[in-house]
C-alpha cells in the first residue's frame, strides 16, 4: 500500500513524497532508516468510497504471477543480485497490487534477518508447503538459484497443462451454453405461441407434442422453484464434495469412469512423479518428500497409496514395493521405472523421464477427448432441439396439409 508523507531531514529541510510499504509501521521504519523525521503520514486512497475500494475477492494471487516471480527471482539470484534488492525490484515490476504488498512484506522480513523460506511461510494461501520446502532445501544446500529454477519449471508445466485443458474445454462449454440458451428461448417464447395456434385448430395432437407442451408448461409455471431447488442442490453437492468424506467418495468413483478415469490417473501419476523428483533432487529425505507430494497430488485414492508408501519407506522398504500392489493406479511400466531408479540411486532423474513421457500422454489424451466430445455434443444438442421442434411443428404441418 502507498502512503503520502511529510517529513524533515537531519538539516531540517521539509520533504514531501509517496512511499510504498506493507503497513504504516513499516513505512515509518523505512523513512526513519533514511534519516527522515515524519510529521504527517497518511495512507493513499484511504477515504475512497466503498465502490472504489479493492474487493478482497480480487486479491488472490494468480498462479502465473507466482510463476513469473519464481523465474525472475531465479534469474536475479543467478546474476548475483542480493536477495533483498531482488525482492524490492520484483515488487516494483509486479502489477498485482495484492502480490506487490506481500513481496514488500517478505522483503521487510528478510531485511530483519528472517530466511526467505520462513518469510514465504507467512503467506500459506500464496506459497504452498511444496514451494516453501523447495526454497528451504535450496537454502540448506546452498543451491537456491537452481531450486528456484526447478520451481519455475514446475509451475510453468502445471500452468501450461491447466491452461491447455481450460482452453480446450472452452469450445464444448460454448456449445453447451448455446444449446441450453436455445432450449430456454424455445420453451419460454416459441412453444407458448405455437400452443395457441394448435389450441385454436382443435386437432388431435401426437403424444410427442403433448409431452413437449407439458414440459414447456411445467417449466413456465415452476421455473423459479426449479431454479432455487437446483441452485440449493448444487450448493450442498459441492459443499459435500469438498468435505473429507465426499472427496473420498468422488475421487474413488471418478477414477472408475471410462476414458475420464484413465485421463485423471495419468494426471495424478504425472504430478506424483514430477513433485517427488523435484523434492528428491532438492535434497529432501524421501519420507519428507513423499509427505509433501501426498498433499500436492490431489486425488484421495492416490494420497492413500502415497501415505502407505511413506510408511513403508520409513520402515525400510521401497516405494516400488507398495506401488506393485496397485497396478490399477500405477501401470507396471511406471512401477518398473521407479524400481530401477531406487536400485541405481537415480530415482529423481528417472522420475523426470517418466514425467516427460506422461505429459505427452496427457496432451494427446486431451486432444483425443475433445476430438470425440465436440461432435458428440453437437449431434446430441442438434437431435434434442431438432426433435423438440419437430414434435411441435408436425401438427402445424398436418393442419396446413389438410
Position 369 scores a pLDDT of: 76
Position 44 scores a pLDDT of: 65
User: Does some domain include residue 88?
Assistant: yes
Are residues 144 and 79 both part of a single domain?
yes
Q: Which of 157, 151, 127, 20 is nearest to 77 (CA)?
A: 151
User: Does some domain include residue 112?
Assistant: yes
User: Does some domain include residue 253?
Assistant: yes
Position 232 scores a pLDDT of: 92
User: Does some domain include residue 162?
Assistant: no
Residue after which a domain boundary falls, among 156, 181, 212: 156
Are residues 105 and 203 both part of a single domain?
no
> Is the distance from CB of 353 to CB of 272 less than 8 angstroms?
no
Are residues 244 and 176 both part of a single domain?
yes
Task: List beta partners, residue 319.
Answer: none
Cα-based distances in Å from 267 to 41, 59, 92, 165: 52, 29, 36, 11
Length of the chain: 402
Helices (H), 34-115: 63-78, 83-93, 97-111
Q: For residues 99 and 88, give the distance between their C-alpha atoms in angstroms, rounded to a whole number.
A: 12
User: Does some domain include residue 348?
Assistant: yes
- Domain tally, the chain: 3
Are residues 9 and 137 both part of a single domain?
no
User: Does some domain include residue 299?
Assistant: yes
Are residues 37 and 72 both part of a single domain?
no
User: Does some domain include residue 318?
Assistant: yes
Global pTM value: 0.66
Residue after which a domain boundary falls, among 114, 132, 156: 156
Beta-carbon neighbour count of residue 263 at 10 Å? 17
Are residues 284 and 228 both part of a single domain?
yes
CATH for 284: 1.20.81.30
Residue 113 sits in which domain range? 61-156
Position 124 scores a pLDDT of: 84
Are residues 83 and 42 both part of a single domain?
no
Are residues 31 and 72 both part of a single domain?
no
What would you measure as the largest C-alpha separation in the chain, in angstroms? 104
Beta-carbon neighbour count of residue 37 at 10 Å? 12
pLDDT tens profile 22-62: 677 777 777 777 777 776 777 765 544 444 444 444 457 88
Are residues 260 and 350 both part of a single domain?
yes
User: Does some domain include residue 161?
Assistant: no
Low-confidence ranges of the chain (pLDDT < 50): 47-58
Residue after which a domain boundary falls, among 108, 123, 156: 156
Percent of the chain whose pLDDT exceeds 70 = 90
Q: For residues 276 and 135, give the distance between their C-alpha atoms in angstroms, rounded to a whole number.
A: 15
Position 200 scores a pLDDT of: 66
Are residues 244 and 361 both part of a single domain?
yes
Are residues 232 and 349 both part of a single domain?
yes
Phi and psi at residue 40, to the nearest 5°: -135, 135
Q: For residues 280 and 231, give the distance between their C-alpha atoms in angstroms, rounded to a whole number.
A: 45
Are residues 317 and 180 both part of a single domain?
yes
DSSP 292-323: HHHHHS--HHHHHHHHHHHHHHHTT--HHHHH
**What letter would DSSP give residue 48?**
-
Q: For residues 384 and 17, give the distance between their C-alpha atoms in angstroms, rounded to a whole number.
A: 66
Amino acid at each position: 500500500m502507498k502512503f503520502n508523507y511529510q517529513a524533515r531531514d537531519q538539516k531540517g529541510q521539509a520533504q514531501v513524497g509517496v512511499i510504498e510499504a506493507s503497513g504504516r509501521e513499516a513505512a515509518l521504519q523505512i523513512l526513519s532508516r533514511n534519516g527522515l523525521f515524519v510529521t504527517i503520514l497518511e495512507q493513499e486512497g484511504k477515504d475512497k468510497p466503498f465502490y472504489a475500494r479493492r474487493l478482497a475477492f480480487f486479491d488472490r494471487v494468480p498462479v502465473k504471477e507466482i510463476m513469473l516471480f519464481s523465474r525472475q527471482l531465479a534469474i536475479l539470484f543467478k546474476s548475483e543480485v542480493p536477495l533483498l534488492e531482488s525482492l524490492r525490484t520484483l515488487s516494483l515490476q509486479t502489477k498485482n497490487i495484492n502480490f506487490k504488498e506481500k513481496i514488500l512484506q517478505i522483503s521487510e522480513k528478510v531485511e530483519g534477518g528472517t530466511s526467505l523460506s520462513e518469510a514465504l511461510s507467512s503467506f500459506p494461501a500464496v506459497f504452498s508447503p511444496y514451494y516453501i520446502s523447495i526454497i528451504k532445501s535450496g537454502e540448506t544446500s546452498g543451491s537456491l538459484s537452481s531450486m528456484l529454477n526447478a520451481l519455475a519449471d514446475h509451475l510453468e508445466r502445471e500452468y501450461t497443462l491447466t491452461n491447455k485443458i481450460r482452453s480446450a474445454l472452452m469450445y464444448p462449454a460454448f456449445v453447451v451454453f448455446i444449446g441450453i440458451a436455445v432450449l430456454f428461448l424455445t420453451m419460454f417464447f416459441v412453444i407458448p405461441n405455437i400452443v395457441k395456434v394448435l389450441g385454436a385448430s382443435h386437432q388431435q395432437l401426437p403424444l410427442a407434442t403433448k409431452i413437449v407442451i407439458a414440459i414447456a408448461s411445467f417449466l413456465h409455471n415452476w421455473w423459479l422453484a426449479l431454479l432455487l431447488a437446483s441452485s440449493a442442490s448444487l450448493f450442498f453437492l459441492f459443499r459435500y464434495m469438498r468435505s473429507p468424506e465426499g472427496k473420498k467418495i468422488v475421487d474413488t468413483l471418478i477414477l472408475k469412469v471410462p476414458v475420464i478415469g484413465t485421463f485423471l490417473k495419468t494426471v495424478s501419476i504425472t504430478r506424483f512423479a514430477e513433485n517427488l523428483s523435484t523434492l528428491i533432487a532438492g535434497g529432501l529425505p524421501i519420507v519428507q518428500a513423499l509427505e509433501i507430494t501426498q498433499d500436492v497430488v490431489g486425488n484421495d485414492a492416490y494420497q492413500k497409496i502415497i501415505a502407505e508408501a511413506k510408511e513403508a519407506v520409513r520402515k525400510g522398504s521401497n516405494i516400488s514395493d507398495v506401488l506393485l500392489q496397485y497396478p490399477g493406479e500405477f501401470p507396471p511400466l511406471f512401477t518398473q521405472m521407479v524400481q530401477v531408479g531406487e536400485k541405481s540411486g537415480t530415482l529423481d532423474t528417472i522420475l523426470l523421464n517418466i514425467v516427460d513421457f506422461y505429459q505427452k500422454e496427457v496432451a494427446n489424451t486431451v486432444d483425443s477427448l475433445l476430438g470425440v466430445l465436440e461432435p458428440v455434443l453437437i449431434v446430441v444438442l442438434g437431435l434434442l432441439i431438432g426433435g423438440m421442434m419437430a414434435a411441435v411443428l408436425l401438427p402445424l404441418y398436418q393442419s396446413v396439409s389438410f
